[in-house]
Every structure is written in C-alpha cells, then in structure tokens.
Amino acid sequence: MSEHTVATVSELEDGDRKLIEIEGREIALFRLDGEFRAYTNWCIHQGGPACEGSITGTSDAEFDRDELQTELQWSKEGEVLNCPWHGWEYDIPTGDCLSKEGAKLPSHPVRVEDGDVVVSL
C-alpha cells in the first residue's frame, strides 16, 4: 500500500471535490460534512468518469396505501454523484450505487495528518 498527500484540509470546502492522478489512476477526493472520501473515477456501468458528474440530490417516494397517494421527496441534496455518461447515481458518503443494488464505487482509505489529506492506495 502506498500513501499520497493529495491536498491540504483547507483547500476543500464542504461540497468540493478534487480530481487527482495517483500512479496512473484517476482518483477523486470529496469533502462532505467535514469528512474526506476518495473514490476511483470509474463508473461500474460502462467505465464512465463517474466522479466528474454533477452533485445533486435525488428523489424518494412513499406510497400511502390507505390514501392511494404517492408522495415524492427530494432527498440527499449535495450527497448524490451522477455519472455524466448515463446518470447512474452514487451516494457520496458511502460510495454505494443507488442505481444498482450491491454495487459501489471503489474507495480508498483517507486520513488527515497535520492539515494534509493522505490517501492510501
């Protein structure tokens, strides 16, 4: 395993991301709620640049069987990464793919040390 300093903590605000190349691999560093996460920029669908996509929320729905009403909610604002090729959705906090159960973005351990963000590959 190799360790790489990829940013300083103050470089990224909440909601920001930074694309980096480590050992020929494209990695994206995300900052959300003060936490850092690093994922490989590789969509499990067709290999698109998932980590370069828009960051949005997504829709949830609940059906009330008694009232026969479907209620739509916009949720996870700022936490959903959309692959720009075909729109597959990923949850930024966990890397889980919301479009296909059980699928994930490949993730890498991140730690903060003396104001630096260090990614292990």
Partner 1 sequence: MMSQTAAHALAETTVVDTDVHITVEEEMIAKYLEEPHRSSITDSPHPMFPSSSWDQRMGGKIDDYFSEFTGPEDIRQFQEDFQIDYPIINTFEPLGKFSQPDLAMSLMRAYNDLLLDKFLDDYDFLGLGAVATQRPEEAAAEIDRIGDNEQIVGLYLGTSGEYPPLGDPSNDPIYKAAEDHDLPIVFHGNGEEFMFDFPLHNKGFNNYFEVQSLGHPWQQMATMASVIGEGVPAKFPDLDFVFLEAGIGWVPYLMHRMNKIYRMRRSEVPLLDQSPEEYIRDRFYIGSQPLGEPNRSEDMKRMIETLGADMLMFATDYPHWDFDHLEELDKYLQHYFTEEERQKILYETPVEAFRLPFQQ
Q: By the criterion CB under 8 A, which residues form the site for partner 1?
A: 25-26, 42, 46-48, 53-54, 56, 82, 84-87, 89
CA distance 97 to 74: 17
Given the complex with ligand FES, which of 27 and 117 has the nearer CB atom? Answer: 27
Does 48 participate in binding ligand FES (rule CB under 6 A)?
yes
The piece of 19-27, 58-66, 84-92, 112-120 that touches ligand FES (CB under 6 A) is 84-92
* Token pair 């090729």 in the structure block, residue: 85
Given the complex with partner 1, which of 86 and 111 has the nearer CB atom? Answer: 86
Q: Which residue from 19, 15, 27 is spatially nearest to 55, judged by alpha carbons?
A: 15
Question: With CB under 6 A, what is the number of residues at the site for ligand FES?
Answer: 11
Is residue 117 within 8 A of residue 77, CB to CB? The reply is: no
CA distance 2 to 74: 39
Residue 50 binds: one of partner 1, ligand FES, none (C-beta under 5 to 8 A by kind): ligand FES
Least CB distance to ligand FES at residue 24 (A): 20
CA 87 to chain centre: 13
Amino acid making up residue 118: V
Does 96 participate in binding ligand FES (rule CB under 6 A)?
no
Q: ∠ at Cα 88 (95, 17), nearest 5°?
A: 50
Which of 45, 55, 56, 98 contacts ligand FES by CB under 6 A? 45
